[in-house]
Structures are given as structure tokens and as C-alpha cells.
Structure 1
């Protein structure tokens, strides 16, 4: 005969078992990701130490130990942190402006036919032009190189954000707006209760893409016309054939890009937890 204690304990055990399984799955995925990075670094060291030269010339690349030594040296210099801070200021300024302007114009393009007719053709003509191709224009247009680099970063991030928001607005079910208006809501209510919450998934998708493109362009702009920054310092190392420092710059760029993109994704997950399977995706 089943006792009362067994009846009470059974549902608890059923809840604990899936939780333990999910936690194990999370740590297993993290371990797999870490192992893939370690394996790639080990392969790099193996190929460069042994001067492997097949179709690719690994004998010309610095080894992992050489790059690690250069990174340790660079971490102890103020120039490294000054360059890192300068690049972060540029990316956050340009990306922040792009996020604000991209959201506003994306919503207006999706909801205003007049604005779409006036601004839409100009945006579509400018969108295929690579932001880095606008460096000569930025040099001529802005009084300082700093403003020009921020402008290039802004352009790089703006179009992915604007397009994502525009498509998200146009994809909203009209019944949502009709329901708000039926209950007496005005334009402000529609914007706050329908449009802004409804575009969040598409918005953060555009922000994630925009951040990646912005890093590509800010580093390229620093290499071309910068005076400080990770891109500038990486190019300077290349001009004097200091290849370990070149890889220090490449690794720094990768870490910065990964960190900022992860921050955008984390904010997006918290902002869209109301979506179905939000908690599962957050793992």
C-alpha cells in the first residue's frame, strides 16, 4: 500500500530529476565549448612549433607561447589599456547613436507611409554601401578623425538595426493594435503596449548583428585614419613586422567583440523572457 510520505515525496523527486538533468546539460555544453577553444589553441601551437608547411604556411606564424609572452608584456603597458578604452568609447558611442536612431526611424518606416516614401528610398540607396567605404567622406566631412570614426561606426550599426526594426513593426498582427484602440487607447498606448514590446525580438536580433558589423568597421577605420585604438596599434605592429603583437591585437579585438555581443544578447534575453521558451533559450 502506498504511504502518505511516498505520495508527497514522489512529485518532489519528479521535479528534482529534470532540474538535475538540465543543470548537467548546461555544464556539459559549457565544457564542450571550452574544449573546442582549447583544442584550437593546441592545434595552433602544434602546427607553428613544428613549422608545418602544406598548402598553408604555418611556419611564418608566431607560436602560442610567443603570442602569450607578447600579450603579457602588453598588458603591463598603459598604451594597451588606453587603446582598449579608446576603441570601447568609439564603439559604444557610435553603436548607441545607431540604436536610438535605428529604432526611431525603423518604427517610422514601418508605420508611416509618408515617411517611408520620403526617407525609404534614400535609406535603400545608402544601405548597400559598405560603411568602411565612407572613410574618405568622413575625413572630408568631419573636422576631427575621432568624429569620423564614430560616424563610420554609426553607419555600420545603423542599417542592420533599422531594417530589423522596420520588418518587426510590419510583422506585428493588426489585431493587437485594433484591440488597444477598441479599449480606448490612443497612439501612445499603441506604441507603448503593442509596438515596443512586439518588436523586441527583432530589435535585439538587429542589435546583435549591428554590434558585430560595428566592430569590423571601427577597427578598419582605426587602421586607416586612427591615432589610438586597438585597430591602429595592430596595424602599427604589422608595419614593423611585429607579428606576435599583431596577434595580440587580433585576440583583443575578438575578446572585445565577444564581450559586447554577449552583453547585448544577455540584455535581450532578460527583456524577452515573456516569450515562449524564453527561460530555455537563456541557458
Structure 2
């Protein structure tokens, strides 16, 4: 009996060491992934330069597109101009305002649609009828409804982000196991307890999925709205460059839009992972 703990201590210690070693290896893996991602971007840029410099014509006409060096030169000039940063700030204000409103209203509406039969009967058909309509198709209506272009663009951005957030939240609420709510009720919990302890934590993964999708759609619509009716913003400036055939500046706008979309989406993803860090991750499931 006295030797048994000593015999079991070896495998147990080895198991602990193995478990402790796995996070170290998993922390090293992302560096290789990031290297591959950066290499893929660099390879794409190099291929673009080769095709445009040599005026290659395949299925598309690369001889009509600006080279990477021309785009970089134009980007450098744009970065030194004050209007570039004004456009950047204006687009960010529009997207963040519309997206924040859509996040609040979309989550609340999704919870009510998933939890309240009366609310779903009254407002459910209206949301389903309006959801298939592209937000950019509402531009003429927004121009008529709002006294300023600024309010109209924010409204279009709000609509674009609202429906993905609302639908994801509604599905997340309806997918919650009923046993969770029954357990809280059995222990004497109120409706507020169910909402705070079951519904809100349980729907977080679905909510952040909707936020990520909604943000991407919102960027598409805010840039399109700026091109149609804006006076400032990245979309407006990109369209203006196209009308005067300044193609390097068009690609400056395209790259700026891509960087802004990537940065904001990454911020939402990081926030989602921090808020839901209590959830098991894929690497934990493989252990």
C-alpha cells in the first residue's frame, strides 16, 4: 500500500507534464500560421506586380491595371493629405454609429422574437418581409426620410447590420436547451434570473457570430451609400477617383476599405473570444 502512490506518481506526473507541454506547443503553432498568411499576401502582391508590369493578358486585362509600385506611390501621397484622414474618420464614425445601434436593437429584438410569442406574432412577419430587401436599395427611401445625407447613410448602415444580428440572436435563443431554464426555475429563479444566468450567457456565441457577419455587410453598404450620396468618406473618394480615371487612387481606396474591414472584424472576434473564454475551444476538445 505504501508503494502504490509512488508507482502512480510517475504516470500522473507525466500526464501533467504532457498537458502542460501542449499549450506551449499550441502557442508556437500560430507563428507558423501567421508566416504562411503573410507569405500568401506577399506572393499575391508579387504576382500582381509581375502581371501588370509585363502587360499580361489572360482572361482579364492586367495591362490596364496600375502596378504595385504605382499604387504604393499614390498611397504615400494620399497618406500625406489631410483629406484622406478626414475621409477615414468620417467612414469610421458612420460605420461605428450604425453598427452600435444595430447591435443593441438587433440583440434585443432577437431575444424578444425568440422568447415572446406575442412579440413574434406581431413583429416577426414584418422583419421577415423586410429582411430580404438589400439595404442599399433603401438609399432613395433614406434620402426622402432624412433631412441630411449623413443620417441617411447611418440608417442604411444600421439596416445592413441589424438583420444578421437579429437573426443570429433569435436562432441562438431558440437553440438553448430547455433544461437550463427548467433548472433555474426549479431552484426558484425568476424570469430575470433566467435571462441573466441562462439566456444572455448561452446566446453569446451566436450573438458574436451575427455581429461579425453584420459588420461585414455594414461595410459593404456604407461604402456603397457613400459612393451614391456621400460628400465625404472612403467610398465617396474612391468613386471620385474612378470618375477622373485615377486608377491608382481607386486601388488606394479599395485597400483602405479592406484594411478597415479586417481591423474592425478582428476587433469583434477578439472581443468575442474574451467574452466567451469560458467556452471550450477546438484545441481543448482534441485533448
2:125 aligned partner: 121
TM-score computed with the length of structure 2 as normaliser: 0.92
1:269 maps to which residue? 273
| 1:26 CA displacement | 1.5
Q: What is the match of residue 47 of structure 2?
A: 43
May I ask how many residue pairs the two structures share in their alignment? 278
Instruction: State the 1:211 CA deviation.
Output: 0.3
Please name the residue that 1:57 is paired with: 61
Q: 1:280 to 1:220 in 2, by over 3 A?
A: farther
Say yes or no: does 1:208 pair with 2:212: yes
1:184 aligns to what SS in structure 2? coil
Shift of 1:226: 0.2
The 4+ residue runs of structure 1 with deviation greater than 6 A are none
Alignment partner, residue 245 of structure 1: 249
Q: What's 2:194 paired with? A: 190
1:235 pairs, out of 239, 257, 264, with 239
**Compared CA separation, residues 280 and 46, structure 1 to 2 (3 A):** farther
| 1:35-93 Cα distance to aligned partner (Å, 9 max, x none) | 11001001100100000012210000000000000000000011000000000000000
Match in the other structure for 2:28: 24
Match of 1:130 in 2: 134
Aligned partner of 1:174 in structure 2 is 178
2 CA distance for matches of 1:84 and 1:45?
A: 27
Query: In the aligned structure 2, how far is the partner of 1:143 from the partner of 1:27?
Result: 51
| Matched-pair contact (CA < 8 Å) for 1:272–1:278 | no
**Distance change in 2, residues 1:9/1:109 (3 Å):** closer
Question: How far did 1:23 drift?
Answer: 3.1
Q: CA RMSD in A?
A: 2.0
Contact 1:269 1:278 survives alignment (8 Å): no
**Whole-angstrom CA distance in 1 between matches of 2:19 and 2:178:** 40
Partner residue in 1 for 2:151: 147
The change in CA–CA distance for 1:93 and 1:278 in structure 2 (over 3 A counts) is: farther
Does 2:97 align with 1:93?
yes
The alpha carbon displacement at 1:106 in A equals 0.3
Q: Secondary structure at the match of 2:132?
A: coil
SS of 2:279's equivalent in the other structure is coil
Deviation of 1:18 after TM superposition, in Å, equals 2.9
The residue that corresponds to 1:4 in the other structure is none
**1:120-155 CA distance string (max 9 Å, x none):** 000000000000000000000000000000000000
| Deviation for aligned residue 1:209 | 0.2
Deviation at residue 20 of structure 1 after TM alignment: 4.2
Q: Tell whether 2:80 aligns with 1:73.
A: no
TM-score (norm 1): 0.94
Deviations 1:90-124 (A, max 9, x none): 00000000000000000000011111010000000
